[in-house]
Amino acid sequence: MWSRALVLGSIGPLLLGLVLGCSRPPTSSETDADPVVDTRYLTADVWNDGQAEVAFYRVDRTRNQYGRAEEQEFIVGTYLVKHRFSPTDMTKVTDGTGVSSFKYAAFYELESGSYQYKRNWVVNARQKDLRPFKQSFTSFDWCSNLYREVAFPTDGSVEVRTRSDDYGNRRASFAQRPNAYPPAQLPLLIRALDFEAADTLSFSVPVADSSAHVSARAVRAGTETIETEAGAHDTERIVVHYETPVPSPVGETSDRTEIYWRGTGPERRLVRMEAEGGRYQMALVEHLRTPYWQENLWPKLDRIEERP
């Protein structure tokens, strides 16, 4: 049986790394690695309307947060918005300085026995190439608050911080790599991958708890029409293979292979993802573009009735 401390130390984008020994200094070719993302997509006019993309997904999984066999279903909320971010101060800025960046967030609540889990991930990444600046995670589980952060300074090592009144505190650092994207950023990365020149693209996933990078490759495996609660969608099927499992906000720890379906429209909206083994899956329920900081979006929704 897993201890609660172990589980909370392993959830979300900063899950316990199963990848000790996978990290090594980057080679010269890795230092000069070709970009894997489509800058034209990331800087397209669709992101300049002064609104955010808000999307909701239904998660189904066969194992709970402790790794035990249990059917679970819950709604995940996400938003994607453009703003200015200071890589020096590691925070949003509103004075015109900083770098044009995307903020991507995923959040949900989960009930299990006496416990109620509230989980939130936020990623800030440079708009033009999705270079990560910061990934943060907060959790409340009736036992303790937990805050974890992984910062990617423009100069220097990856910085890891953990604060909790029950699960310990930690500071660590490890070397950066090019084309490395933290676990909570992967849905955004999949949308931005550029398959124009090749059907297979390589990147890595930094895992904070093991100070390691896990090698991964994404393969464009054709097109497919996908039905979800949000209707029918024309999509590209993208298969992602990990050298070893990585942290997963949806599955706690990923399978070695995940399948993503991204829309073929200009937003390339994520429509569905699932573990190859069927242990977890996530499918689009509803989406809209809205300046959520100015208006109440909840009355505008047709299928989502409660906040995640």
Q: Model's pTM, two decimal places?
A: 0.89
Q: Return the SS3 of 242.
A: strand
Given a cut of 90, whether residue 143 has pLDDT beyond it is no
Q: Which has the closest alpha carbon to 180: 38, 41, 35?
A: 35
Q: Return the SS3 of 300.
A: helix
- Split at pLDDT 50, 70, 90, the class of 114 is confident
The rounded percent of the chain whose pLDDT value lies above 90 is 84
Residue 121 · residue 106 · CB < 8 Å: yes
Give the span between the Cα atoms of 295 and 291, in whole angstroms.
6
pLDDT per position as a tens digit, 161-182: 999 999 899 999 999 999 999 9
Given a cut of 50, whether residue 232 has pLDDT beyond it is yes
- As a whole number, the mean pLDDT across the chain is 90
pLDDT per position as a tens digit, 6-18: 333 344 443 333 3
- Split at pLDDT 50, 70, 90, the class of 292 is very high
Give the span between the Cα atoms of 7 and 177, in whole angstroms.
28
Q: Return the SS3 of 184.
A: helix
Spell 54-92 as b/e; 16+ CB within 10 A means b.
bbbbbbbbebbbeeeeeeeeebbbbbbbbbebbbeebee
CA 288 to chain centre: 19
Instruction: Tally the residues of the chain.
Output: 308
- Residues 6+ away with beta carbon under 8 Å from 227: 233
pLDDT at 25: 44
**Alpha-carbon dihedral 304, 234, 107, 117, rounded to 10 degrees:** 80
Give the span between the Cα atoms of 126 and 232, in whole angstroms.
32
